[in-house]
């Protein structure tokens, strides 16, 4: 099994993140509600499903959200959306490295899968059943 090294977690609606720093939000409005409700802190990481982007809170206001990989010196990442259910996803990420891979099903729950690095630019992800969802690759 391969595990994703970049923090990632559960839906905000669940209100019980894996470790307090990782969420999946449907939209940036839901992401921003973490700050206005006082639940977010610097270092908070949120994957927004609507724009398929991972954000990190660099300060303590909604203006302080930054896309992961968008700043200078940030590590590149790739989001793969699998809308057709398949037992094997073939993903070309073109990151030029053998990245960490995290999988979330279409309901936003993290799932285990067998990840095989074909080369520095592509992976396959194998499941026991056909799946849809997203692969966060970093």
Domain ranges of the chain: 10-67, 78-137
Q: Name the CATH topology of 78-137.
A: Thrombin, subunit H (2.40.10)
Q: Is the pTM of this model over 0.95?
A: no
> 26-43, pLDDT tens digit by residue?
788 888 888 888 878 888
* 26: β partners: none
Tell me how far apart the alpha carbons of residues 56 and 80 are, in angstroms, rounded to a whole number.
19
Rounded to whole angstroms, the Cα distance separating 95 from 43 reads 24
What digits encode the pLDDT tens for the residues 58-90? 888 888 888 875 544 456 788 899 999 999 999
**Beta partners for residue 92, in sequence order:** 122
Question: What backbone phi and psi angles, to 5 degrees, belong to 14?
Answer: -70, -30
Question: How far, in Å, CA of 24 to CA of 17, rounded?
Answer: 9
């Amino acid at each position: 099994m391969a595990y994703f090294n970049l923090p990632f977690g559960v839906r905000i609606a669940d209100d019980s993140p894996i470790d307090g720093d990782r969420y999946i939000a449907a939209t940036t409005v839901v992401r921003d509600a973490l700050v206005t409700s006082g639940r977010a802190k610097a270092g908070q990481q949120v994957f927004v499903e609507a724009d398929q982007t991972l954000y990190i809170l660099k300060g303590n206001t909604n203006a302080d959200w930054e896309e992961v990989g968008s700043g200078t010196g940030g590590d590149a990442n790739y989001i793969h959306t699998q809308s057709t259910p398949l037992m094997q996803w073939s993903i070309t990420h073109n990151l030029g490295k053998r990245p960490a891979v995290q999988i979330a099903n279409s309901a936003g729950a993290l799932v285990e899968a067998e990840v095989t690095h074909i080369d520095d630019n592509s992976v396959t992800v194998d499941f026991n059943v056909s799946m849809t969802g997203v692969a966060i690759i970093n």
